[in-house]
Chain A
């Protein structure tokens, strides 16, 4: 690759439409793209309900427990968590790919990210259900 084409690539203008990079599975890349707009919606809902519910929004422990009594809320929050964790781990993996990791490193990283992602969602699910059960 010549110097000019490298610099055109880095400038970003020559990319055209975004595409998966080498080492990035097309479906996982698409999952990262699709979870994006989903997160915009989830985050908007998260902000509106957290700040505009009741008089002051969810400012105290009591408010949060009361809010979690509607069964749709824990379901929504867990869905939000699963999407945001997926998006962030796939995004981090994309950044690490730019560091040109070895095949072995990437293999280990994929397992670490997969297990970490599952554990975080399990933790969040436990937390949401714990809070929901406090009101009963």
Chain B
């Protein structure tokens, strides 16, 4: 596989021939881009609060539909996976579990799955 370069950046996301670390890298990068997009969207949308009660409450009501909630579930899932995978990165940065990264990754992602399921159920039934 080639090193990342400006004309071959899609190879970052090529799953062929990857090991666990490569999957962790793809997952971290995809969720990072999604979360960055959501963060700035969120900040723009919150400006509705400055407009006043009507604008904000109307917007909140508008977002209570299955499509918006599904999109929010994606954001939550991305946040949980990025956060938990990030814990592995922090731990290994400071020298903990460097030789156990695979187990750490699988363990944290299993935990992520449980938390995501909890959120999904809560968000659709609340």
Contacts and interface: CB of A to CB of B under 8 A. Distances in A.
Interface of A: 6-7, 9-13, 15-18, 33, 36-37, 39-40, 43, 59-62, 64, 81, 84-85, 88, 91-92, 95, 98-101, 120, 123-124, 127, 130-131
B109 interface: no
Contacts of B53: 60-62
Interface residues of B, number: 44
B3 interface: yes
Interface of B: 1-6, 9, 11-12, 17-22, 24-25, 29, 32-33, 35-36, 39-40, 43, 46-47, 49-50, 52-53, 56-57, 60, 79, 83, 86-87, 89-90, 92-93, 95, 98
A36 B1 contact: no
B94 to A, nearest CB: 8
Contacts of A37: 86-87, 90
B43 A124 contact: yes
